[in-house]
A and B are shown apart, each in its own frame.
Chain A
Amino acid sequence: MKVNFFNSGSPLFPFRWFILITLLTVGTLTYANLTGWRIFSGGQEQWKASGPGGHK
């Protein structure tokens, strides 16, 4: 099996974008879970003593 799924000869070629989306999503979920990031979370305000505040 050809590992490079962006190669048109690979049997995974039709799933190339799906595999990419899945890998990005798994990466995002892992990062979010490990850092306590609540994805698409609004309403949390952050103010830094060192400069202008902002919304995270």
Chain B
Amino acid sequence: MSNPILQNCPDCGRVLYFAHAETNLIHCSCGSTVYRNNGVVVAKPFYTVAQPFEFIQPGTEGAWNGKTFRVLGRIRAWIEEFVFNYWTILWNDGSISYLGEGYGIYAIYEPVVTDRDVRSSLLDGVKVGARRDLFANDPFILERKYQCYKWELEGEAWLPGVPSAFRTFEFAAVDGRRIEVIELSNNATLCFNVQYTTQEALQLKNTRSVEPPIKTLTCHNCSKENVLKGFPFCQSYACVHCGTRYALEEGLNFKRLGQRNSTDIGPDIELGSAGVLKGINYEVIGYAQKEEANQYRSQWKEYTLYNPQHGFAFLSEYNGHWSFIRERGDGPVVEKEQPSHLTYRDERFELYNSYNYEVVNAKGEFPYNAFNDQEKRAVEFISPPEVWIKEKSGREGINWFLGEHITSKEIKTAFGDKFSPPWKTGVGAVEPKGYVSMGKILRFGAGAVLLLVFAHLVTSLTHRAQVISENTYDFSDSVDTVSFIKKDIVLDKRSSNLEFEIYAGVDNSWCEVSGTLVDVAKGTEYSFEKGVEYYHGYSEGESWTEGSTRETAFLSSIPAGRYDLIIRATRETKVTYASYLTAPPELNPSIRSFNMTVTYDTTNDRNLFLCLIPIVLWSIGHFLLVRYNERKRWYNSPFSPYTYSDES
């Protein structure tokens, strides 16, 4: 544990309690902000967080990766179009880190030493998507770079050098590792290993419960009031009365923008309505109709959902199909600008769409500045019911959003009468429709086949294939029928089968064998009949054969007991007449004997093959159904792997 350091406020003389040797900023209860450097404290006029309302507060406790921590305070960084909190946390082992938090995104920032000296020259001019070897032969891709133009203090915090402004650079490796570099001043940088997490995983306790402040603004156009509930996270809005658009400038004032709304039928969910989606109580605070900036001019609607504790989410609607979308810090890392697919946690997502867009209609609030995204390139990768949306701009970097299909019914349940579901057409981009990847169908099909084969092999181990009779049975010369009895056959398994393998040397003739198994004690009889016939010949220049000299018959599900087996066989006898006058007819029996082997408790592979049929049929049927639906799903995609004859 670190030893707390006690010092006195230069302004009021109160005792200041620094929980860690490296924390250097504290907000005294007298209102002064105090900077500590080399054991000396001085009062400096830093900005402080006015009306703090966030869920986390100084004193909040949590746990992560088996360690516990306590929140000391924060730096709230104002970064171009958004704010982000760097909470200073003190671990139970005495070390300090940042807990990054904002917009519902949480990340632990652990200080790390890179192999390479990360100097300003390495960062100057680096573009989003460029690579830098932060570790030896270990390239990282720059995903985001921001300029913090102002910061505010709450509680006790760690910010070496206390620069008035700083730059941040977030790099990512293709294996998902992320490094954030904070450039405090020229050639003074801090590097952090960034690990994204969730609020639930942090097990936060002693949290703040304060109603978030609201900001009221009067529209310059219609002079009516707009109430902002998401400020300062929301840094743009459109007047809910007249649609006039505004965006925050340098954290100070909302500036009216020259853009105008076009004709619009309006939102399908009323602004201000509240409802529970995915277990979180959201309020609809914004609505935007967006349009692809290409020849298709496809339009869709997006709704901004806000919960002060859980941050932001979005509902996106196209052709009556809905997606629930949240921003993610731990999105995929792709090396190419627009790969044909990406793999995220073993799930393959296919490139579905790529476009620039603009907001054509808007009402209410939006996180960031929603009205300057014309140069942003959005790329969608789908694996129904999920979609990863990558938004990239040269100015802001790469942001990833994870969406998942949500039904109108779920939205209706959440918002009730405040929601008027639009008409649904076609198959949505991430509508499940029984979708599973072809690979999964194959894997499940193969798994089921293996399971069946395994069950068959295991159960076959219990079969002993006991030969209980192997005899050749002779016919009398003058009789075409023969009967035999084998007595006292003891079948000792609770239930099993008998297999009769019959061989008769028939040649263009037949022999019929029937058997009856009689339970001596109960009198129950089980019987079978089997014909053995084999014909062959030569006709129309080709040889032909039909039938076989060997046949197999079964008696199945025979209960244990003492049995007599009665076998009867009939052979074919052909009568030929040499001469009606000089000789009696000549009898030509087809066979003189036949052979039969009776085996008890045999393995029946036919059962396995019959059981495989539904598995194979389902796999083929599912494949065809998925293919049918996929053709419809990809109809609206410029990257469809299917060809369509009705593309008019």
| Interface majority SS (helix, strand, loop, mixed), chain B | mixed
Chain B residues with CB under 8 Å of A29's CB are 452, 455-456, 459, 607-608, 611
Q: Once bound together, how far apart are the Cα atoms of A29 and B448, in whole Å?
A: 13
Is there an interface contact between A44 and B444, defined as CB atoms closer than 8 Å? no
Is there an interface contact between A46 and B618, defined as CB atoms closer than 8 Å? no
Chain B residues with CB under 8 Å of A14's CB are 432, 434-436
Q: Once bound together, how far apart are the Cα atoms of A32 and B242, in whole Å?
A: 74
Q: How far is the CB of B583 from chain A (nearest CB, A)?
A: 42
| Residue B643 CB within 8 A of the other chain | no
Smallest CB-CB separation from B458: which chain A residue? A30
| Residue B615 CB within 8 A of the other chain | yes
Is there an interface contact between A28 and B611, defined as CB atoms closer than 8 Å? yes
For A36, A45, A50, A56, which residue has the most chain B Cβ atoms within 10 angstroms? A36
Chain B residues with CB under 8 Å of A39's CB are 606-607, 610-611
Is there an interface contact between A36 and B493, defined as CB atoms closer than 8 Å? yes
Is there an interface contact between B556 and A37, defined as CB atoms closer than 8 Å? yes
8 A Cβ contacts from A30-56 to B? 30, 32-41, 43-50, 56
Chain B interface size band reads: 35 or more
Chain-A contact segment, one of B143-151, B311-319, B521-529: B521-529
Chain B residues with CB under 8 Å of A33's CB are 455-456, 459-460, 462-463, 603-604, 607
Is there an interface contact between A45 and B451, defined as CB atoms closer than 8 Å? no
Is there an interface contact between B455 and A26, defined as CB atoms closer than 8 Å? yes
Known: A14-B436, A29-B455. A49 touches B444 (CB 8 A): no
Chain A residues with CB under 8 Å of B607's CB are 29, 32-33, 37-39
| Residue B495 CB within 8 A of the other chain | yes
| Residue B555 CB within 8 A of the other chain | yes
Q: How far is the CB of B615 from chain A (nearest CB, A)?
A: 6
Binding site for B on A (CB under 8 A): 14-15, 17-18, 21-22, 25-26, 28-30, 32-41, 43-50, 56
Binding site for A on B (CB under 8 A): 432, 434-436, 440, 444, 448, 451-452, 455-456, 459-460, 462-463, 493-497, 522-529, 553-558, 601, 603-604, 606-608, 610-611, 614-615, 618-619, 622
* Given A18-B618, A30-B459, A56-B557, 6 more pairs with CB closer than 8 A: A29-B456, A36-B601, A38-B557, A47-B524, A48-B523, A50-B523
A-B contact pairs, 22 of them (CB 8 A): A14-B432, A15-B440, A18-B444, A26-B451, A26-B452, A30-B455, A32-B607, A33-B455, A35-B496, A38-B604, A38-B606, A39-B610, A41-B554, A41-B556, A43-B528, A44-B527, A44-B528, A45-B526, A46-B525, A47-B527, A48-B522, A49-B522
